[in-house]
Structure 1
Amino acid sequence: MLNTKLVTGQNDSLIIANKQFKSRLMLGTGKYKSLDDAKQSILASECEILTVAVRRAQSSTIQSMGSLITGLDWANLWLMPNTAGCQTAQEAIRVAFLGQEIVKNLGFEDNKFTKLEVIPDPKYLLPDGLGTLLAAEYLISKDFTILPYINADPILAKQLEMTGCATVMPLGSPIGSGQGLQNLANIKIIIENSNVPVIVDAGIGSPSQAAQAMELGAAGVLANTAVAKARNSPQMAEAMKLGVIAGRAAYNAGQMKVNSTASPSSPTLGLVT
């Protein structure tokens, strides 16, 4: 078993809205081949935050969440409903309230987390910045802890932070594409300017891409399709865990300066001439 304290430091916790998490990997719960596959992947990832899409049919959502919850150690897991499938701010607000009711009915009364998604674009699934901002403002006023999914837009990220969002979650590339960090420059700016955790969400297709995001200084990574659609999902979940740990350790260690010329790694004194 990898001793993550030795790798990342004794007190290197992720803190969101005053809640502390050991893992910096979040997992989505859709697209898995089976419920058992999802559970085994969650266990292998050692993640602590799970995001679950809230559907309009409340009874089926409760049933699916209930099935997922059975057999997992919820002393070490945090359920985060999301508003996936909502095309407007109004829809997202309604679904956010539904998600909170479902979470309460399942026994998590102190959990106010909601992943906010407002996505009117059916082809590339790009989020609506204005709709997200409007929905975030309203939900925060109603005591929600909002984690918004956004384009890699540094201005919008700062606006959402100032509104009171607990994190910002810029996409690396389109949802489910596996293209990695196609918005690298903007993600760097968001991380540099942010006073809340930056979670890279969407487009992460491999552990190396997760590590790259963490090396930039991202506070965490959310993955779903890369794990769910892998040939061996639990094994990929563990690989993602290790990629996030490695990237965070590299960021904490401090990367060497990039040079335009070579620099010998062996001493040059005493060479035979």
Structure 2
Amino acid sequence: MSENVSTTHPTPLLQDTFTVGSRTFSSRLLVGTGKYKDMTETGEAIAASAAEIVTVAIRRVNIGQNSDEPNLLDVISPDKYTILPNTAGCFDAETAIRTCKLARELLGGHNLVKLEVLGDEKTLYPNVMETLKAAKVLIDDGFEVMVYTSDDPIVAQELESMGCVAIMPLGSLIGSGLGLLNRHTLSLIIENAKVPVLVDAGVGTASDAALAMELGCDGVLMNSAIANAQNPVMMAHAMKHAMWAGRAAFLAGRMPMRKMLLPAHHRLGTSFNKLKYK
């Protein structure tokens, strides 16, 4: 889903928000909390990213379910960030559903979740059948479901028609850093969607994030690209600016792509006194 913003304002991006379910956000960058060396680095990188939505793997990260372990919410405050529980590590619908219900209990009735049901441990590719099954149950139970899925436009349409509030196709395999290997199918999903489309997985560096936004994505979710960088805090800064640059380029509208300069343009380098007009 793409949005039009008035370009008469001198800084249109300052008014450029997007809505997911019942919530509206200014930052289109969503970040994860895993793979950092410690919680201090986690907090610093997330602050540098200027993200408003922070996703948390409930099965791996303590947000209160283990009282004798450090609590991530002491670093990432729900008063400042929207915590987005995810079902990373779930390989069937039933486990994913239970994980979302646990998250809702731990977060005091919070109903915005990121659903991901994985197909296998090697690729972490989504299991579409189990994802569809889990999505239906969760939506019927009052959850607002942002869903990780394949880059299949038909599957994306089905998830949207079921009531998912955001479609999150992978750019390439989780943690691969290979960037967007499927620009055409991503574009098809974006063109057809009436809910936000966010690239989820595969981003490796700032140019990948910018490209996703140039294609018309409503946002990008990333973790490894920041956490596994040699300097995560600096990379978080880079991603923040890449998202703005890509979004601005999309709103500005790029020039048409051509195989070569148009014939009439040969006159651009000709002096005026050599031009003859009738």
TM exceeds 0.5? yes
What are the ranges of 5 or more consecutive residues in structure 2 without an aligned counterpart?
A: 1-8
Q: CA deviation at 1:64?
A: 9.4
Partner amino acid, structure 2, of 1:255? R
Q: How far apart, in 2, do the equivalents of 1:11 and 1:117 lie?
A: 31
**Sequence identity, in percent?**
42
Partner amino acid, structure 2, of 1:79? I
Q: How far apart, in 1, do the equivalents of 2:16 and 2:266 lie?
A: 31
Query: Is the contact made by 1:50 and 1:77 (CA closer than 8 Å) also made in structure 2?
Result: yes
Q: CA deviation at 1:73?
A: 5.3
Q: For 1:94-113, what per-residue CA distance to the aligned partner results, in whole angstroms no more than 9, with x for missing partners? A: 11111111111xxxx4x311
Report the 3-state secondary structure (helix = DSSP H, G, I; strand = E; otherwise coil) of the residue aligned with 1:247: helix
Query: Is the contact made by 1:55 and 1:61 (CA closer than 8 Å) also made in structure 2?
Result: no
Q: How far apart, in 1, do the equivalents of 2:191 and 2:68 lie?
A: 39
1:217 has 2:221 as partner? no
Superposed, which structure 2 residues align to 1:103-142 within 5 Å? 103-104=107-108, 109=109, 111-142=110-141
Q: CA deviation at 1:70?
A: 2.0
Superposed CA RMSD = 2.3
Q: For 1:188-214, what per-residue CA distance to the aligned partner results, in whole angstroms no more than 9, with x for missing partners? A: 100010000001000001010000000
Structure 2 equivalent of residue 257 of structure 1: 256
Range that drifts further, 59-68 or 253-262:
59-68
Partner amino acid, structure 1, of 2:222? A
Query: Is the contact made by 1:8 and 1:245 (CA closer than 8 Å) also made in structure 2?
Result: no
Q: For 1:86-138, what per-residue CA distance to the aligned partner results, in whole angstroms no more than 9, with x for missing partners? A: 1111111111111111111xxxx4x3111001003111110011111110011
Structure 2 equivalent of residue 53 of structure 1: 57
Q: How far apart, in 2, do the equivalents of 1:75 and 1:45 lie?
A: 17
Partner amino acid, structure 2, of 1:17? G
Structure 1 equivalent of residue 47 of structure 2: 43
Structure 1 equivalent of residue 86 of structure 2: 82
Query: Is the contact made by 1:51 and 1:80 (CA closer than 8 Å) also made in structure 2?
Result: yes
Q: TM-score, normalised by structure 2?
A: 0.88
Report the 3-state secondary structure (helix = DSSP H, G, I; strand = E; otherwise coil) of the residue aligned with 1:114: strand
Structure 1 equivalent of residue 271 of structure 2: 270
Q: CA deviation at 1:72?
A: 4.3
Aligned residue-pair number: 264
Superposed, which structure 2 residues align to 1:231-246 within 5 Å? 231-246=230-245
Query: Is the contact made by 1:92 and 1:116 (CA closer than 8 Å) also made in structure 2?
Result: yes
Query: Is the contact made by 1:199 and 1:218 (CA closer than 8 Å) also made in structure 2?
Result: yes
